[in-house]
Amino acid sequence: MVDVMDQVSTQAHTDAPLLRVDGVTLQYKTPDHLVTATYRVSFDIHAHERLVLLGPSGCGKSTLLKAMAGFLHPVEGKMTLKDRVIEGPGPDRMMVFQEFDQLLPWKTVLHNVTYPMQVNGVSATDAKQRALDALGKVNLSKFADAYPHMLSGGMKQRVAIARAMAMKPDVLLMDEPYAALDALTRRKMQEELLQLWDDIGFTLVFVTHSIDEAVVIGSRIVVLSPHPGQVRAEINCDHLGLDERTSPEFAQLTGRISHMLFDGQDIAH
Ligand SMILES: Nc1ncnc2c1ncn2[C@@H]1O[C@H](COP(=O)(O)OP(=O)(O)O)[C@@H](O)[C@H]1O
Ligand SMILES: [Mg+2]
């Protein structure tokens, strides 16, 4: 593993990591066999980082995110949030998925956003205020009383983001949130997410299999090898965003990552 580790550069952080993934192996038990989804994966996430998990389909990105959310437990290693072992789901980690049907169809946009807050003990008045603020931040104030079926895919994703942000989580976990959107909407959503991050400064873990998206969104990228996922590289790319998309440096980095993902030697163990 170590011989293929391409440590491009790691940022010098003086503060303790917010979330730590430490030697994590994740498996699924099916009736007839055991699937190893990730093998001894380690990386740290610091507060206010935008960490992207990038790798080919099936390399265990969603599995890692599910474990961070507390739905799955490592068979080896551990995950900690603020030095506490993650033992189950909690309102400190909110997840946004790729699917457009993650909203409750019988509730209005506003009630979709207030619902998790009320379940977690936020008063109705506070929940409404926080929901309206969050909907304002994703430019959906006018749709507070609409129902999900009246919204486009991109708008539903915005509601899901508003719902997660209104909870004020320590970490926002996003699993290929824009993969099912057309290219233009996707670009717009990337811009909005970065704008939202500029405004609020939250900590983001973002999963994608798109190299361009990884470089645009990430302040740091963890590149995973094919199944079972292992860390192949960590890349700092905070200086490359939407405005640098056409720059030679952007092309050089995406080319390099592409080479790493598609032409890199397979990691067997
Ligand atoms: N519920 C499950 N049961 C058994 N195997 C699974 C399950 N979910 C995912 N896997 C397997 O684990 C591996 C990693 O899957 P996943 O985390 O979904 O990858 P990615 O999100 O990177 O595409 C794949 O080989 C996949 O087939
Ligand atoms: Mg996935």
Output the pLDDT for position 101. Answer: 86
Q: What number of H helices and E strands is found in the chain?
A: 7, 11
Residue 268 lies in a domain: no
Do 42 and 137 share a domain, yes or no?
no
Our count of domains for the chain comes to 2
Q: Are residues 159 and 34 in the same domain?
A: no
200 C-alpha to ligand 2 centroid (Å): 27
259 lies in the same domain as 175? yes
Q: Which ligand is nearest to the CA of 31?
A: 1
Same domain, 109 and 187: no
Q: Could you tell me the distance, in angstroms and rounded to a whole number, from the CA of residue 63 to the centre of ligand 1?
A: 6
Distance 60 CA to ligand 1 centre (A): 6
Q: What is the mean pLDDT of residues 244-261?
A: 92
- Position 98 scores a pLDDT of 87
Q: Which atom of ligand 1 is nearest to the CA of 38?
A: 14
| Rounded-to-integer distance, Cα 148 and Cα 146, Å | 7
269 pLDDT more than 50: no
Structural domain span for residue 179: 2-92+170-263
- Give the pLDDT band (50/70/90) at residue 264: low
Q: Whose CA is nearest to atom 9 of ligand 1?
A: 63
d(CA 120, CA 15): 30
* Distance of CA 176 from the midpoint of ligand 1 (Å): 14
pLDDT in tens, 194-236: 999 998 889 999 999 999 999 999 999 999 999 899 999 999 9
- The pLDDT value recorded for residue 12 is 58
- Looking at residue 201, its pLDDT comes to 87
Q: Is 70 exposed, middle or buried (0-12, 13-18, 19+ CB in 10 A)?
A: middle
Give the pLDDT band (50/70/90) at residue 13: low
Among protein residues, the one with the nearest Cα to ligand 1's atom 7 is: 28
Please answer whether residues 168 and 120 qualify as being in contact, where contact means their C-beta atoms are separated by less than 8 angstroms.
Answer: no
Summarize pLDDT for 82-138 with one digit per residue, the tens.
999 999 999 999 999 988 789 999 999 999 999 999 999 999 999 999 999 999 999
User: Which is more confident, 242 or 145?
Assistant: 145
Separation of 126 CA from ligand 2 center, angstroms?
34
Which ligand is in closest contact with the Cα of 179?
Answer: 2
- Res 228: pLDDT: 92
Give the model's confidence band at 14: pLDDT under 50 very low, under 70 low, under 90 confident, else very high. Answer: low
Residue 269 in domain = no
Name every protein residue with a CB atom under 6 angstroms from any ligand 1 atom. Answer: 28, 30, 35, 37, 55, 57-63, 227
- Mean pLDDT for 13-41 is 93
Distances (CA, A) of 206 to 52, 101, 109: 5, 19, 24
Q: Looking at the domain assignment, is residue 209 inside a domain?
A: yes
pLDDT score for 200: 87
Query: Do both 193 and 85 map to the same domain?
Result: yes
Same domain, 88 and 116: no
Tell whether 200 and 237 lie within a shared domain: yes
Please give the pLDDT value at position 7. Answer: 44
Q: How far is the CA of 75 from the centre of ligand 1 (A)?
A: 15
**187-191: average pLDDT:** 93
**Which amino acid residue places its CA nearest to atom 25 of ligand 1?**
58
Q: Which of 62, 99, 175 maximizes ligand 1 atoms within 8 Å of its Cβ, making it the mutation to test the pocket?
A: 62
The minimum-distance atom of ligand 1 relative to the CA of 56 is: 22
Model's pTM, two decimal places?
0.91
Q: Which tens digit of pLDDT belongs to each residue from 144-187?
A: 999 999 999 999 999 999 999 999 999 999 999 999 889 999 99
Choosing from 25, 28, 208 the residue with most ligand 1 atoms within 8 A of its CB, the one to mutate for a pocket test is 28
